[in-house]
Structures are given as C-alpha cells and as structure tokens.
C-alpha cells in the first residue's frame, strides 16, 4: 500500500518536472555556445605552440635587452646607474608630464561635475514636472504640459549623446578645432564625463526621499529653491562619491589621451616608442601606472572621508 | 487682524478605490483653534493637506482667506502656501542641514533663489538671532547650530514647529504633532502650538489622537469617521457619547459598514 503511494508520487513528480516552465532562450544559447566551442577547436587555426616558437623567443630576448636602461646596455646591472638614469628622465620630462596628467584630470572632472549636476536637474523626472514633489493642484496649460513632457527625455538623450562618443574620439575632433594644447584633452574628458555624471546624478535625484522636498514646496519654495536648499545637501555625499570614482577613470584616460599629442604621459610613451627607445618607453609606462595608483589612493581616501561625514 | 479663514465646500477625495473624504464642508474663521479627531484612516491628514493645497480633490472647492485655491495663479498659490505653516507628522526636515538652516528655510516662499542661497550659506546676524529666539520659544535654543539628524524625534518635532513659525504664517496646520513623543511632551507640544496661535492670533488646525488634549486645548472639535464629518461643535458642548460614536468599532461592525 505504502509502496504504491510512493510510486504514484514519484510519477507525479516526474510529470511536474516534464511540465516545468523552461526558458528556450537560455537553452538555445547554451547549445549554440557548445557548438561554437567545438567548431573553433576543430577548424580554428589557433595553435598553442606558435606562442612559444624560437622566432618569438628571439624577439622577446631582444626586447628585454633593449628595455635595459641605455647606460647599462651590454654591461652588468648596477642599481645606482639605473636610478640616476631614471631620475634624470623624471626631472627632464616625467615630472612635468605627471603634473599635467593630474592637472588635466582634475580640471576635466571639475567641469564635468558642474555641468553634469546642472544637466541632472532637468533630466530627473520628479523635478522636471509642472508641480515637483506635490500633486498637481490644477491642470497646467498645454504649453507647460508639452514642455515638461519633453524636458527630461530630451535632456537624457543629450546626456546619452555626450557619453556615447568615447573620450578619445572627442579629443580627436577637438584637436582639429582647438589646435594642440592640453585643452582638447580636458574638454574631451569633461564632455564624456558630463554625460556619465549627469545620468548618475539624475538617478540619485529621482531616488531622493521626497518628503523633505514636498515640505519645502508646501511652504512656497520654487523649483530652483528646492534644488538649492533641499536637493543639494541631500545629494552632496553621494554626488561626491560618484565624482571621485569618475576622477580615477579620468586620470587613466588623461594618460592615454596624451598619445594624441598633448603633453601628458601618453605623449612621452608614444614619443619613446617612435624613437625606438624602449628603456624610456617602459619607464613612462610604469610612471603612468604609478600615477593611476596614486590617483586611486587619493580618491579612495577622499571617498572614505565623505562616507564618514 | 492676523489669521486667515479656511473653507471646504463639498470636498471629496479618492485614492484609487478608497474614499478618503466624502462631501465634506466646513468653514473655519480667522484665529479659531480647531481639533480634528477620529480613528486612523478617517481622513484627518487628507483634510489638513487640502488646506495647504497639497492634495487635489476629485470634487469641491477649498477657499483660503476667501479666494478659491484651484483658480489661483502660480505666484498667488506660492504666496498662499507661504502663509500656511504645516507641521508634519514625520517632521520632513532636511536631515543633514543645521537646525538653524532648517528653521531659516521656512522663509523660502517669500524670497528669491539668490536671497535664499545667501540666507542658507551666510545668514545675517538678525536672521540667526530670530531663529534662535524662535527655537528658545519651542524650548531648544541651545540646538541652534547642531546637525538636525543628531536630534531626538521630539526635538526634531520642535524644529519643525520652529520652521513653521519662522515662516510667519497666518495659519498653522499640525498633523498629529504628538505622535512621536511621550505623553508629557505631547502635552507640551500641544500647549506650545495653542499658546503661539493665541499670542499671534493664528488660525490653528491640528489633528489629534489624544481626546483629552483635544478637549483641553481646542475651542472647537471636528469628528471624522470614514471620510465624513460626524460632529462639528464647540468643545463645551461635546459629550462623551460623541467620542464613543466616533470610535465605535464593534466586532462585525466593520463588515456591516463595508456592506
């Protein structure tokens, strides 16, 4: 009797299992993935041994020898000589390039923070409506309704355009317009990050606790006053976190953008590469990494202070 | 004479399928001190919000000082709102501003953007001293420069009252001003509101759960039940039976009502 009941149950479970909802898309893509892996292993010309061929090994050897600081070519390694060589380059070009890299990133992120925050206001749907933070008291005129129906979507679209074009392309365009100086890099970084920060800040505005703001509206505050007196203090901590986070990226990008011919680290990296001076090349790459690391540390430090306040 | 009259004329408010207020009419004359009583969900908060134009009724009109609220221009609506102080149940202060800044924000409805920025960042000495004076009146003068969210619930309540007073209003609306404090402080807060409204001759409307307080401090009581006015009489003629009528929720009663 008992056994029969168990059997009936296991049959029912089988039935339910067969009838369970299945996601065709997930299954299909799994099969496709499997098939692609098999095809690429069978027909692809990926040959692992090529990676370690003698030809490549020779290339690597030559590169490593050229990477040795110039005064030490063909000589015994000497830390003293290497260090004074590095010091020399740092004094001649490195320091200025480092400072200009940091300078470009700081000016760019300040501009992006300012314009991004400004554009976040019309991009936030809870603020860009005819009666922010309170219910509509009477139907607004048609003109106002059309205006507010369009304001947030249009601003958001503009922000998308700003950030859809990479910094590198912006800098390329601006270089043609503004001529070679640090400004194309600054403006390029500022434009791209305005798009990103504007979007992020708009989201924080839309997620703000509406109660304090509805109270300010209820006692007669204008939209601009709500933004200045209510939103600004409420959103400042989070806004600063985003700002510092994007600044880290800016430091990295400012290095890379130098490759277009601005006086940042990237410029000296391409310069050394063009002269086939691989020792200097490596030096500037490492210096760039150090600058990015320093930027990350400063940013992490500032973010911790903000979070505690 | 200060103070402003308030009038509801056949007002109904619906939130989705629930009726918050149904065909409510009443008029409150300038300088009157009125208590709203009734069980939770009876429409007290909605009624108060109608009076400062932060709820749109489905039917009916609201008049503040004789002028119909829903035909006012934007500037006039702003002026009316600036003349009505509202003390919210949940305070609704900006938590990470100083107490003084929250109090000074009460003036937003009367100044331009530029002036309001200056007031918040570099307030004049006169203004800070006025904020301090009001905070002393509500009993927390020493908290002037503290961060608002470092204060207790009861103290924040007082900041909210101070903000409403700094507004220099004609009308004071208070939604359960005692819900977040213990009974002794509750009495203090209600006494404070009534004393101020008497001194400044402000119209005062407050919703109260505590019937004893309502009877002690209001000259007129309005009883609400399920969105309708059950009684509206001077406090002197209110009987115990009025309240029992208001709060009767016998078993099965709710079912009978709902049918």
Inter-chain CB proximity B105 and A224 less than 8 Å? no
Q: Is B21 exposed, middle or buried (0-12, 13-18, 19+ CB in 10 A)?
A: buried
pLDDT score for B181: 72
Based on the number of CB atoms within 10 Å of its own CB, is A148 exposed (0-12), middle (13-18) or buried (19 or more)?
A: middle
Interfacial B residues in 163-182 facing A (CB < 8 Å) = 163-164, 167
More confident residue, A176 or B1: A176
Q: Return the SS3 of B173.
A: strand
A247 located within any domain: yes
Confirm whether A264 is domain-assigned: yes
How far B55 CA lies from chain A's nearest CA (Å)? Answer: 6
Question: Is residue A137 predicted with pLDDT exceeding 50?
Answer: yes
Q: Is residue A153 part of a domain?
A: yes
Q: Model confidence over A156-179: pLDDT tens digits?
A: 999 999 999 998 899 989 988 888
Mutate to test the interface with B, among A131, A215, A227 (most CBs of B within 10 A): A215
pLDDT tens digits for range A192-228: 999 999 999 999 999 999 999 999 999 999 999 999 9
Q: How confident is the model at residue B111 (pLDDT cuts 50, 70, 90)?
A: very high
Q: Over the stretch A279-297, which tens digit does the pLDDT of each residue have?
A: 888 898 899 889 888 888 8
The pLDDT score that the predictor gives to residue A52 is 67
Average pLDDT over residues A265-278: 87
Backbone conformation region of residue B221, classed left if phi is above 0, alpha if psi is from -120 to 50, else beta: beta
Question: How many angstroms separate the CA atoms of A269 and A178, rounded?
Answer: 23
Q: Which residue has the tokens 């401090």?
A: B217
Q: Give percent above pLDDT 90 in chain B.
A: 62
Query: Is residue A276 in a domain?
Result: yes
Q: What is the pLDDT of residue A288?
A: 86
A144 touches chain B (CB under 8 A): no
> B250: number of CA atoms within 13 Å, CB side?
6
Residue of A135, A229, A236 with shortest CB distance to B105: A229
Q: According to the per-residue pLDDT averaged within each range, which of A51-55, A272-276, B43-47 is highest?
A: B43-47
| B 64-93: CB under 8 A from A | 69-71, 77-79, 81-82, 84-86, 88, 90, 92-93
Taking all residues of chain B, what is their mean pLDDT, rounded to a whole number? 88
Note whether residue A35 is domain-resident. Answer: no
Question: For A2-16, A113-127, B205-219, which range has the lowest pLDDT when averaged over its residues?
Answer: A2-16
Q: Cβ A219–B79 below 8 Å, yes or no?
A: no
**How many angstroms separate the CA atoms of A68 and A43, rounded?**
41
Whether residue A219 lies within 8 A of chain B, CB to CB, comes out as: yes
pLDDT of residue B127: 95
Q: Which domain holds residue A110?
A: 80-308
Q: Please name which of B115, B85, B118 lies closest in space to residue B206, comparing C-alpha atoms.
A: B85
Tokens 């003390």 — which residue? B87
Q: How far is CA A289 from CA A255, A284, A285, A295, in A?
A: 9, 9, 6, 10
Average pLDDT of the residues in B90-96: 93
State what percent of residues in chain B have pLDDT above 70.
94
Pairwise CA distance, residues A186 & B70, whole Å: 50
Q: What's the CATH number where A85 sits?
A: 1.10.3720.10
Map residue B86 onto helix, strand or coil: strand
> What is the value of ipTM here, to two decimals?
0.91
* Mean pLDDT score, B167-182: 86
3-state SS of chain A: helix, strand, coil percent to 5? 80, 0, 20
Q: Distance between CA A107 and CA A166 in Å, rounded?
A: 18
Cα atoms in the Cβ-side hemisphere of radius 13 Å centred on B167: 35
Residue A73 belongs to some domain of the structure: no
Does A63 fall in a domain?
no
- What is the predicted pLDDT for the residue at B252? 46
pLDDT tens readout for residues B207-254: 998 888 899 999 999 999 989 999 999 998 888 888 888 887 644 445
Instruction: Identify the burial level of B199 via C-beta atoms within 10 angstroms of its C-beta, where 0-12 means exposed, 13-18 middle and 19 or more buried.
Output: exposed
Mean pLDDT of A80-87: 87
Contact B108 A138 (CB under 8 A): no
Summarize the confidence of residues A31-57 as an average pLDDT. 78
Average pLDDT over residues A104-123: 95
Number of separate domains in chain A = 1
pLDDT score at B257: 44
Question: What percentage of residues in chain A have a pLDDT greater than 70?
Answer: 96
Tell me what the mean pLDDT of segment A109-120 comes to. 96
Has residue A133 been placed in a domain? yes
Q: What confidence tens digit (pLDDT) does each residue in A52-74 have?
A: 677 778 888 888 888 888 887 77
A227 Cα to chain B: minimum distance (Å): 10
Average pLDDT on A177-193 reads: 90
CA distance B37 to B211: 7
pLDDT per position as a tens digit, A246-268:
998 998 898 888 888 777 888 88
Question: Which residues are B203's β-sheet partners?
Answer: B171
Query: Is the pLDDT reported for residue B124 higher than 70?
Result: yes
Q: Higher confidence at residue A303 or residue B22? A: B22
Tell me the whole-structure pTM to 2 decimals: 0.80
- Contact by Cβ (8 Å): A263, A100: yes
pLDDT for the residue numbered A1: 60
Q: What is the largest CA-CA distance in chain A?
A: 94
Which token pair is A253? 């990008």
Residue A75 has pLDDT above 90, yes or no: no
């Amino acid at each position: 009797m008992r056994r029969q009941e168990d059997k009936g149950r296991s049959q029912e479970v089988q039935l339910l299992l067969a009838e369970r909802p299945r996601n065709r898309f997930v299954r299909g893509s799994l099969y496709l993935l499997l098939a692609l892996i098999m095809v690429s292993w069978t027909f692809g010309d990926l040959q692992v041994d090529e990676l370690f061929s003698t030809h490549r090994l020779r290339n690597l050897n030559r590169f490593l020898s050229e990477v040795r600081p110039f005064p030490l070519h063909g000589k015994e390694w000497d830390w003293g000589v290497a260090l004074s060589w590095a010091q020399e380059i740092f004094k001649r070009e490195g320091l200025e390039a480092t400072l200009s890299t940091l300078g470009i990133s700081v000016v760019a992120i300040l501009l992006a923070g300012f314009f991004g925050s400004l554009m976040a206001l019309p991009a936030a749907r809870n603020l860009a409506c005819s009666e922010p933070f309170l219910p509509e008291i009477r139907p607004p005129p048609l003109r106002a309704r059309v205006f507010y129906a369009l304001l947030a979507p249009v601003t958001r679209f503009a922000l998308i355009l700003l950030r859809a074009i990479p910094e590198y392309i912006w800098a390329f365009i601006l270089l043609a317009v503004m001529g070679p100086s640090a400004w194309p890099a600054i403006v390029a970084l500022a434009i791209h990050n305005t798009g990103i920060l504007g979007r992020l800040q708009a989201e924080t505005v839309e997620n703000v606790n509406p109660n304090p703001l509805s109270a300010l509206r209820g006692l007669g505050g204008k939209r601009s006053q709500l933004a200045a007196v209510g939103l600004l203090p409420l959103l400042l901590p989070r806004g600063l976190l985003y700002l510092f986070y994007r600044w880290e990226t800016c430091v990295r990008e400012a290095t890379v953008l130098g490759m277009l011919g601005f006086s940042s680290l990237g410029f000296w990296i391409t310069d050394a590469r063009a002269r086939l001076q691989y020792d200097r090349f490596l030096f500037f790459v490492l210096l760039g990494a150090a600058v990015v690391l320093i930027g990350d540390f400063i940013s992490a430090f500032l973010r911790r202070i903000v979070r505690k306040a | 004479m200060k103070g402003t009259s308030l009038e509801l004329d056949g007002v109904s408010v619906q939130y989705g399928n629930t009726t918050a207020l149904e065909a409510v009419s009443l008029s409150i004359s300038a300088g009157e001190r009125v208590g709203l009583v009734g069980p939770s969900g009876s429409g007290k908060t909605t009624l108060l919000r109608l009076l400062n134009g932060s709820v749109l009724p489905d039917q009916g009109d609201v008049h503040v000082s004789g002028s119909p609220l829903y035909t006012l221009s934007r500037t006039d609506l702003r002026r009316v709102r600036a003349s009505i102080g509202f003390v919210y149940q949940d305070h609704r202060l900006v938590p990470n501003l100083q107490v003084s800044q929250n109090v000074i924000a009460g003036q937003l409805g009367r100044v331009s953007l530029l002036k309001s920025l200056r007031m918040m960042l570099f307030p004049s000495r006169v203004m800070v001293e006025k904020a301090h004076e009001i905070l002393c009146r509500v009993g927390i003068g020493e908290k002037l420069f503290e961060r608002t969210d470092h204060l207790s619930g009861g103290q924040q309540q007082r900041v909210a009252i101070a903000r409403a007073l700094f507004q220099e209003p004609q009308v004071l609306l208070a939604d359960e001003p005692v819900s977040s404090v213990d009974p002794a402080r509750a009495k203090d807060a209600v006494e404070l509101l009534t004393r101020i409204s008497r001194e400044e001759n402000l119209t005062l409307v407050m919703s109260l759960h505590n019937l004893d307080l309502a009877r002690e401090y209001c000259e007129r009581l309005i009883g609400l039940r399920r969105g309708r006015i059950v009684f509206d009489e001077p406090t002197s003629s209110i009987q115990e039976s009025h309240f029992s009528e208001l709060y009767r929720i016998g078993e099965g009663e709710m079912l009978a009502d709902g049918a």
